[in-house]
């Protein structure tokens, strides 16, 4: 078999060992010029708007990225769920958290079109206002935000649900749009911020998707491309 064809059809796996080579922590540069962090009062106002749009008897949250491997909230139930009309995409530019202004990162959000398999969490029944506020404070990127909360419909084996999800605002300052996958891989293999590397974020996400039996061909392909990027950089460093 031709060596070039072998290289094209052999998919690399991103491993903890590979990620360790690019893992680092950078100083937090703070909000971008022209943006601020949300005040508690602003977060409360956003929660009030959401609860006016829909007041749930059971509060469900749809997870597709870091909320799968690091939910940071208690939940009473978890179901496999699919959001139709949305897809998982590295379409948000980050200049802090897992990137810097000099070397921005990319973060997952739900973007329009396609479908996305993930998890639906049912949160405890008490104090939905506080629970939503904590989610917004964690997930919304800046003020004005590009990663915004909205109620979406998801399907589960037990029936449809209305769930809170975080989606990309295409008119937002941090919206990167649909980027070529090799460009996304180059960014994820190099960027890091005060929360660690973008490669670690990808690795944790793809690992948990596999553990949950969630198949995402784009994420699998991206995993392989990032692994190749890191391997190439290690080879270059070894043989300058």
Highest mean pLDDT among 7-21, 109-123, 131-145, 225-239: 109-123
Among the options 17, 23, 37, 139, which is catalytic?
Answer: 139
Whole-Å CA distances, 34 to 61, 100, 145: 30, 16, 12
Give this prediction's pTM: 0.91
Distance CA 175, CA 16 (A): 29
Mean pLDDT of 195-221: 96
- Whether residue 9 is predicted with pLDDT greater than 70 in this model: the reply is no
The Cα–Cα gap between 49 and 198 comes to 32
Band (pLDDT 50/70/90 cuts) for residue 167 is very high
Phi/psi class of residue 9: alpha, beta or left (left: φ > 0; alpha: ψ in -120 to 50)? Answer: alpha
Measure CA of the first residue to CA of the last residue in the chain; give whole Å.
30
Q: Judge contact between 20 and 232, C-beta under 8 A.
A: no
H-helix segments, 25-180? 40-53, 66-69, 128-139
Instruction: Please state whether beta strands 77-94 and 192-193 pair in parallel, antiparallel, or not at all (unpaired).
Output: unpaired
pLDDT in tens, 88-101: 999 999 999 999 99
**What DSSP state is assigned to residue 36?**
B
Q: What is the pLDDT, as a whole number, of residue 12?
A: 81
Share of the chain above pLDDT 70, in %: 95
Domain extent, residue 227, equals 3-238
Classify residue 126 by burial, with Cβ atoms within 10 Å: 0-12, 13-18, 19+.
exposed
What number is the average pLDDT over the span 32-56? 93
| 211 has catalytic annotation | no
Nearest residue to 89 via CA among 12, 181, 10, 163: 181
pLDDT at res. 72: 84
Average pLDDT, the chain: 93
Q: Which residues contact 127 (CB under 8 A, 6 or more apart)?
A: none
Q: For 117-124, what is the mean pLDDT?
A: 97
| pLDDT of 1 over the 60 cut | no
**What is the C-alpha to C-alpha distance for residues 42 and 108, in angstroms, rounded to an integer?**
24
Domain total for the chain?
Answer: 1
Q: Cis ω on the peptide bond leading into residue 144 (within 30° of 0)?
A: yes
Q: What is the pLDDT of residue 34?
A: 85
Tokens 């749809």: give the residue.
62
**pLDDT surpasses 70 at 239:** yes
**Low-confidence winner among 2-11, 82-91, 112-121 (lowest mean pLDDT):** 2-11
Looking at residue 174, the DSSP 8-state letter turns out to be T
Give the model's pLDDT for residue 6: 40
Q: Whose structure tokens read 């690019």?
A: 22
pLDDT higher than threshold 90 for residue 81: yes
**CATH code of residue 58:** 3.10.490.10
């Amino acid at each position: 078999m031709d060596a070039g064809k072998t290289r094209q059809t052999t998919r690399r796996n991103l491993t903890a060992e590979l990620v360790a080579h690019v893992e680092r922590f950078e100083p937090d540069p703070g909000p971008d010029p022209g943006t601020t962090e949300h005040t508690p009062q602003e977060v409360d106002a956003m929660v009030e708007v959401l609860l006016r749009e829909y007041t749930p008897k059971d509060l469900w949250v749809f997870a597709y990225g870091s909320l799968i491997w690091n939910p940071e909230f208690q939940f009473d139930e978890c179901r496999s769920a699919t959001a139709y009309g949305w897809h998982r995409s590295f379409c948000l530019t980050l200049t802090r958290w897992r990137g810097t202004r000099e070397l921005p990162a990319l973060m997952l959000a739900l973007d329009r079109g396609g479908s996305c398999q993930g998890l639906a969490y049912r949160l405890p029944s008490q104090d939905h206002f506080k629970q939503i506020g904590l989610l917004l404070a964690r997930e919304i990127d800046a003020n004005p935000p590009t990663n915004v909360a909205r109620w979406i419909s998801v399907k589960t084996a037990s029936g449809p649900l209305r769930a809170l999800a975080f989606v990309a605002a295409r008119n937002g300052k941090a919206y990167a749009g649909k980027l070529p996958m090799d460009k996304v891989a180059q960014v994820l293999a190099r960027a890091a911020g005060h929360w660690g590397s973008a490669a670690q974020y990808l690795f944790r996400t793809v690992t948990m998707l596999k553990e949950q039996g969630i198949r995402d061909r784009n994420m699998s392909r991206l995993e392989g491309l990032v692994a190749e990027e890191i391997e190439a950089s290690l080879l270059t460093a070894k043989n300058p």
